[in-house]
Amino acid sequence: MPTAITNDIKIIVETAYQNPRAASPSADHMFAYRITIENKSEHTIKLLRRHWHIIDSLSDKTEVEGDGVIGQQPILEPGESHQYVSGCSLQSDIGKMFGTYTMERQMDGKLFDVKIPEFKLIAPFRLN
């Protein structure tokens, strides 16, 4: 599992291929990903924004930015974690994603970025 630690915030990524072509041969390739954010710092933090780089082997690189994750801006006390599941649609069966979360330290409002490690999006049949 891809993992990164930045400023004592640990990000773990798990991926799964969703196989939409079973329902429709013209469908894009769908991938789900589960992100776990662990606050290993001594401070309470709030996730404010996300910035994704999405690379599809058949198309240009895409960037996605926005507030929070899946409509939430979780606040994590020291030792707490937050997990969410989201997804990505690619034209091809191979791609990758990486990015950053902008966090706010609650005690003083200091903003800092946390690295989301690069993770591969590969349909299982490509691995055989």
Average pLDDT, stretch 91-108?
96
Question: How far apart (Å, rounded) are the C-alpha atoms in residues 3 and 91?
Answer: 26
Neighbour-count burial for 108-119, b at 16+ CB within 10 Å, e otherwise: eeeeeebebbeb
CATH of 3-127, one of 3.30.365.10, 3.40.50.150, 2.60.40.1470, 3.90.190.20: 2.60.40.1470
CA-to-CA dists, residue 16 to 74, 85, 86, angstroms: 24, 11, 11
pTM score, whole prediction: 0.91
Measured CA to CA, the distance from residue 70 to residue 55 in angstroms comes to 20
**pLDDT score for 82:** 98
Tell me the per-residue pLDDT of 22-81, one tens digit each, with 9 for 90 and over.
Answer: 555 556 889 999 999 999 999 999 999 999 999 999 887 999 999 999 999 999 999 999
